[in-house]
Chain A
């Protein structure tokens, strides 16, 4: 801003005032002298000196008076000029301009210069329409007609700054007429509303975007106030309710939902969101009377005003009825599959039982136990929908047939880890063989013997899972002359299934040491992988 100093007009010279005073005194002196001379009439007859002096005095007084008057007029003019100058400056500050009716700029103030970027020199005499690339809502001819008719016109204009940027203005034009009453100039006062206009446009765009989202989103979108009254709902929401907006606006679920139970449940959820001011996701059942029950996954968040105060909630609900149905079917199929596998195992067991009838009961028992171990591992996986199994569950499941939980003979330790189904089955079978062997020949064949089962993750470029089975306190072990099926199952089958190494060492005098090592990536469920079946409520 350019500060305009507010100074009083320079005072008129003091000289005329002194002169007037002097002349006044002179006139008074002459008057007194004249009167004195007149009273002494005998001195010069025929020449009335006294009268002459009086006349002279009057003339002098007249002169003094005129000097006074002139000085006053000058002061008035000065004051008016000053006011005019101040007004012009102020008018200029308001971004006011004057133009002739044909459009030529005849007055250009500092405000206009600041607004449009053109100096007075650049602007004066130019056509306002061309210079500022003015775009009016109606033609200048029409505006002029209105100006002449009504004396003023107001409207929104778009112009360009000297730098090319667009300026939005609200402009008021008034007509000034000359002494003869003929239209002379248009006085224009404009206010820059560019920022308001931009905000308005942005708001409009935001609204349009919001509307587009509301109407294209496949789910329900809605907002409610603190009392649970609907303040916004998209088409999908209205479809579900089955009523037009006019019938649901400002109403609560209790009023527009068919089922009062469902409505109360929904409103209780809503209240909790608003009371706790926290976003939540949950399932809601909303359906119309006589229609199939529909399940929705709703995400509701508190709605806040500009000060952050909770004033309601916004919610999005996506229908998951079909997903729930598929999940249930999938669960049924998993159950059915499990049933079939178990039946098949029972059948295999029956075949073996019949085949080996009259044979070695030990052989029969071994086979039976191995089938049981397989079935037990299968159980663990079924409980987890074949997504994987916790290593603790697999280990404890494999040991369960040989001792109640917490058996003092087993010391189990290791970090929590989820195994892939294949690894879980292989490990369960391997542990079964080791346990069976330990019961027959190893540490578990005595009362004092113990087994420590420990696993750990060996960090590295390719992390490894290492599980060790360490027997102690058992009888002196004797390495068998021939590796039995159990040991071969561990060393071959386990190693192959886990994509790693497995070994059984008959270590004297300590006992049997079994070691299983496999790349972690091949045996553990990766944390990033989402299980392909996500079952419903657990």
Chain B
């Protein structure tokens, strides 16, 4: 992972309702030196954390136990925090105004995660 140092030390918030997937994301992020500032698996919890935590980037599952996570996306956008959608739906599952947000399709491998994060950061 030669080119991953660009993300070393950044603070990441993971919002994902599937614990195992969340754990895998954490593991991937650790490998590239990111700092986990929090995880959330429910919408209400995610909203609080998205509002309050000091975050450089967020990974956001579109579907949180049956609820769409778009309110969280709005908060992150308002706070100017870059984020990516992690989803089993394609980009077509997104509302029109959010189509420009990078999408990490499930399942994914490390290279795809880094690509998506890079797109969100720039």
List, in ascending order, chain B residues with CB within 8 A of A172's CB.
none
Q: Is B38 an interface residue (CB 8 A)?
A: no
Q: Are B88 and A353 in contact (CB under 8 A)?
A: no
Which of B20, B23, B87, B108 contacts A339, CB < 8 Å? B87
A163 CA to B73 CA, complexed, in Å: 93
Residue of A346, A369, A371, A372 with most partner-chain B CB within 10 A:
A346
Given A349-B24, A350-B23, A354-B23, A342 and B107 touching (CB < 8 A)? yes
Interface residues of A in 60-113 (CB under 8 A from B): none
Q: Is A177 an interface residue (CB 8 A)?
A: no
List, in ascending order, chain B residues with CB within 8 A of A379's CB.
90, 105
Q: Are B87 and A375 in contact (CB under 8 A)?
A: no
Which of B27, B87, B90, B106 contacts A345, CB < 8 Å? B106
List, in ascending order, chain A residues with CB within 8 A of B20's CB.
347, 350-351, 354
Given A335-B93, A375-B107, A346 and B88 touching (CB < 8 A)? yes
Q: Is B39 an interface residue (CB 8 A)?
A: no
Q: Is B5 an interface residue (CB 8 A)?
A: no
Interface residues of B in 1-46 (CB under 8 A from A): 18, 20-21, 23-24, 27
List, in ascending order, chain A residues with CB within 8 A of B93's CB.
335, 339
Nearest-Cβ distance from residue A332 to partner chain B, whole angstroms: 10
Interface string of A327-371 (1 = CB under 8 A from B): 000000001001111110111111101100100000000001101
List, in ascending order, chain A residues with CB within 8 A of B105's CB.
342, 375, 379
Interface residues of A in 180-205 (CB under 8 A from B): none
Report the contact-size class of chain B (Cβ under 8 Å from the partner).
Answer: 10 to 19
Q: Is B99 an interface residue (CB 8 A)?
A: no
List, in ascending order, chain B residues with CB within 8 A of A372's CB.
107, 109
List, in ascending order, chain A residues with CB within 8 A of B24's CB.
346, 349-350, 353-354
Given contacts A343-B88, A343-B106, A375-B107, 18 further A-B contacts (CB under 8 A): A338-B88, A339-B89, A341-B88, A343-B18, A345-B107, A346-B21, A346-B108, A347-B20, A349-B107, A350-B18, A350-B20, A350-B21, A350-B23, A353-B24, A354-B23, A357-B27, A368-B107, A375-B106
Instruction: Enumerate the 6 nearest inter-chain pairs by beta-carbon distance, A residue then B residue, closest first.
Output: A342-B88, A346-B106, A350-B20, A339-B88, A350-B24, A346-B107
| Chain B residues within 8 Å of A, Cβ to Cβ | 18, 20-21, 23-24, 27, 63, 87-90, 93, 105-109
**Could you list 20 A-B pairs, sorted by A, with CB under 8 Å?**
A335-B89, A339-B63, A340-B88, A342-B87, A342-B89, A342-B105, A343-B106, A347-B18, A347-B21, A349-B107, A350-B21, A350-B23, A351-B20, A353-B24, A354-B23, A354-B24, A368-B109, A369-B109, A371-B107, A372-B107
